[in-house]
Amino acid sequence: MLEVSFTVHGVPRPQGSKRHLGQGIMVEASPHLAAWREDVASAARKVYDEDLMIGAVYLRALFTFPRPKSHYGTGRNENTLKPRAPKHHAQKPDLSKLVRAIEDALTGVVFRDDSQVCALRSDKVWGQSAKCQIVVSEV
Of the ranges 13-27, 29-43, 71-85, 101-115, which one carries the lowest mean pLDDT score? 13-27
Structural domains of the chain sorted by starting position, each given as residue range(s) with its CATH number in brackets = 3-138 (3.30.1330.70)
DSSP class per residue in 29-81: S-TTHHHHHHHHHHHHHHH--SPPB-S-EEEEEEEEEEPPGGGB-SGGGTTSB
**Residue 22 pLDDT > 80, yes or no?**
no
Structure confidence by residue, pLDDT tens digits, 55-105: 999 999 999 999 999 999 999 999 999 999 999 999 999 999 999 999 999
| Entry pTM | 0.89
Structure confidence by residue, pLDDT tens digits, 102-115: 999 999 999 999 99
Closest to 30 in 3D by CA, of 94, 113, 115: 94
